[in-house]
């Protein structure tokens, strides 16, 4: 790719202390069937030799920057976008990796669906020797559909599963730098105020559940959900039953497993999260009522699986 040539897509990679995993992620980008991309990596003040590794890569499609102090993954993502030039952005967490045709599919999709600004991919997650497929419907969602499926946890999300037109990313406001978790759901909920999105069923990336991944940590999940609810009052105003179910689910899980300590921690966390409007005496009622409502949403979205864009 000549220096003056406009890249078709930018792959955005924030990283911190993942030198042992970063080569797998970046190699999966360099191995893409579509070669006209730019790869933007922001090292969020790693304490390992991430910067030395990045500095040794000769591929001119790579651009990288190192923060002198820790600033957080969302700041790193937003800064990487500022460094990029491409009209399409595709995100990749440094412990995940892409399948070879990811970028080709993303570019083809946006070329065909000029009215769509955001695309959600499907993925497989790997934990130890276990591989699980997480396939979204092949569909286009309206604003209302996107909102309720996000709040109902009916879509499979991950930071590495979002591709978006650059202009739309700017208009939505990028990733919230004050959020440590659920930044992808927050970004999409803000997007749903003005636009819908598309999703594809074919797997095009792999989520690697490594030790220390935030997605595996139960502690802090309810307080993060409360923060999300404060940022998006619609969760309490229009979808209170679903919100209460999500809280009750985090309590009922360890309750069924007879893990009393985790139950107490979850109740305490929910009680101290003002965005959740938590009422301990209604746990069972909220759980079973919300479970029925979510089942209805899942049946609704399931009917979309027969529709191909």
The domain spanning residue 202 has which CATH number? Answer: 3.90.550.10
Which of residues 214, 236, 270 is at a domain's end? 214
Which of residues 189, 214, 239 is at a domain's end? 214
Write out the H or E segment, with its range, that includes residue 172: helix 166-172
| Beta strand residue intervals within the chain, DSSP E | 9-15, 37-43, 62-66, 88-91, 97-98, 118-127, 130-134, 139-141, 162-165, 197-208
Among 300, 298, 305, 11, which Cα is nearest to 135's? Answer: 305
Domain annotation covers residue 103: yes
Same domain, 50 and 175: yes
Round to whole Å and give the CA distance between 53 and 248.
45
Domain annotation covers residue 123: yes
Which of residues 174, 196, 214 is at a domain's end? 214
The number of CA neighbours under 13 Å toward the Cβ of 163 is: 28
Domain annotation covers residue 309: no
Same domain, 61 and 126: yes
What pTM was computed for the model? 0.91
Domain annotation covers residue 75: yes
Same domain, 105 and 126: yes
Domain annotation covers residue 306: no
Same domain, 109 and 223: no
Q: What is the pLDDT of residues 189-205, one digit of tens each?
A: 999 999 999 999 999 99
Q: What is the pLDDT of residues 261-305, one digit of tens each?
A: 888 888 899 888 889 988 888 888 888 998 999 999 989 988 875
Same domain, 19 and 45: yes
Average pLDDT over residues 234-246: 93
| Assigned token pair, 213 | 């991944």
Q: What is the pLDDT of residues 61-90, one digit of tens each?
A: 999 999 999 999 999 999 999 999 999 999
């Amino acid at each position: 790719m000549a220096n003056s040539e406009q890249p078709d897509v930018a792959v955005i990679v924030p990283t911190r202390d993942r030198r042992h995993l970063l080569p797998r992620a970046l190699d999966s980008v360099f191995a893409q069937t579509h070669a006209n991309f730019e790869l933007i990596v922001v090292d969020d003040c790693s304490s390992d030799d991430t910067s030395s590794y990045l500095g040794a890569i000769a591929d001119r499609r790579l651009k990288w920057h190192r923060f002198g102090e820790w600033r957080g993954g969302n700041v790193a993502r937003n800064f990487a976008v500022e460094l990029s030039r491409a009209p399409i952005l595709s995100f990749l967490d440094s412990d995940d990796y892409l399948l070879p045709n990811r970028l080709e599919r993303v570019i083809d999709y946006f070329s065909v669906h000029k009215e769509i600004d955001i695309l959600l991919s499907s993925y497989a997650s790997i934990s130890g020797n276990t591989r699980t497929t997480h396939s979204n419907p092949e569909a286009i969602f309206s604003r209302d559909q996107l909102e309720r499926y996000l709040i109902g946890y009916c879509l499979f999300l991950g930071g590495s599963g979002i591709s978006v037109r650059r202009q739309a990313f700017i208009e939505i406001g990028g990733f919230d730098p004050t959020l440590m978790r659920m930044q992808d759901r927050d970004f999409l909920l803000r997007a749903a105020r003005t636009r819908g999105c598309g999703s594809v069923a074919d797997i095009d990336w792999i989520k690697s559940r490594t030790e220390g991944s935030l997605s595996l940590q139960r502690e802090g999940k309810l307080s993060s959900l409360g923060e999300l609810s404060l940022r998006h009052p619609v969760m309490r105003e229009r979808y209170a039953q679903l919100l209460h179910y999500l809280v009750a689910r985090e309590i009922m899980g360890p309750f069924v497993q007879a893990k009393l300590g985790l139950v107490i921690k979850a109740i305490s966390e929910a009680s101290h999260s003002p965005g959740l409007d938590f009422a301990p005496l209604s746990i069972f009622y909220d759980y079973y009522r919300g479970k029925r409502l979510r089942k209805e949403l899942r049946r609704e979205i399931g009917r979309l699986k027969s529709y191909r864009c």
